[in-house]
Amino acid sequence: MQDLQEKAILVSVFLNEKDEKSLQELEELAKTAGAEVVGVLTQKRKNIDKTYYLGKGKIEELKNLIEQKGANIVIFNNELSGSQVKNIEDILNTKVIDRTNLILDIFAKHAKTKEGMLQVKLAQLKYSLTRLRGIGVTLSRLGGGIGTRGPGETQLETDIRHIKRSILHIEKQIEEIKQHRSLYRKRRQKNQIPVVAIIGYTNAGKSTLINALTNADAYVENKLFATLDPLARKLRLPNNKIVLLIDTVGFIKNLPHQLIEAFKSTLEEIKFADLILNVVDISQNDYEEKIKVTEKILSDLECFNKPVITVYNKSDLLETLPKNTDKEVYISARYKTNLHDLVFCIQNALESGNKSL
């Protein structure tokens, strides 16, 4: 995104009722990226148009909306193919990005460590590669003419080779960092320092919880993906043992597969953790659906049979506070409510090693 605030129109096809909720999340993502949302256009369809995403009539309606609102960027709520982006931009004469591109942009904005920046760059390159290939297929089908042969295709092939070389170079650097982390992990295991991975939907309050538990000063902001790079803090339990709390990148519905692949080396910390804290924003109406998203990503990461404590954060916003159990703890990280109970749950889970938690 540019420093000058861009005026965005959000576009979504509603295939079912759940898509309407995801549009609200797209607006949050756009604001996090620094855009001003000036308009929204939706269409109910049975399927997404392969050429223009929307129906041809809706594309014309979108073009008029862009002119009315003075928008300079259109953000689509689904992943677009390279050919779709090209077709839409040809009609709108306006910059077009999709949800995946938007999330990648936010990650690039928030990455601070060398590894974080490398992982984001890797995801961006893989995303660009699929888009170039899609456009290449489109050009080859045109059957000739200006821009479809000779130097045009040669330049496209050159771009693809360059991206592939860059991907290999970055993957090599990430592998070196991964090996370093592996050695560090073995040292922790040798010293018998348990690891507690803090996971959850983006903006659920993971960094605030780490700060509250350890009196640290992790970066906290009320935006999606405010924390990107993994954070580790020591916590002393009531039995005087030390555990390592590891913050992780926030999850989100339809997290781009390029990001999951790129961040696998970092997300391995979850896989090798002794205990997982799944932080949930209980004040959100769709918190149960967000739990399912988190569980799906854990499954994709092959984090099976891990003891999990569900930590319901922002419980100060509830009218009545449910009773805490070994599996579920209701807290307020902001006001440090029930953190004592949570710490004892962590201690009991680690001592019992009970994988049925």
CA atoms in the 13 A half-sphere facing the CB of 15: 8
DSSP 282-320: TTSTTHHHHHHHHHHHHHHTT-TT--EEEEEE-GGGSSS
Binding positions for GTP are 200-207, 225-229, 247-250, 313-316, 332-334
Beta bridge partners of 313: 281
Instruction: Tell me the Cα Rg of the chain.
Output: 23
Binding site for Mg(2+), by residue number, is 207, 227
Binding-site residues, please? Answer: 200-207, 225-229, 247-250, 313-316, 332-334
Q: Which helix (H) or strand (E) holds 340?
A: helix 339-352
Distance, in Å, from the CA atom of 267 to the CA atom of 193, rounded to the nearest integer, reads 19
Q: Which residue's structure tokens are 């290999």?
A: 168
CA nearest 33: which of 92, 115, 95, 118? 95
* β-bridge partners, 236: 242
Q: How many CB atoms lie within 10 A of CB 4?
A: 8
Alpha helices in 70-204 (DSSP H): 82-92, 99-110, 114-141, 151-190
Q: Alpha-carbon torsion 300, 224, 216, 323, what sign?
A: negative
Q: Which tokens hold the place of 44?
A: 């109910």
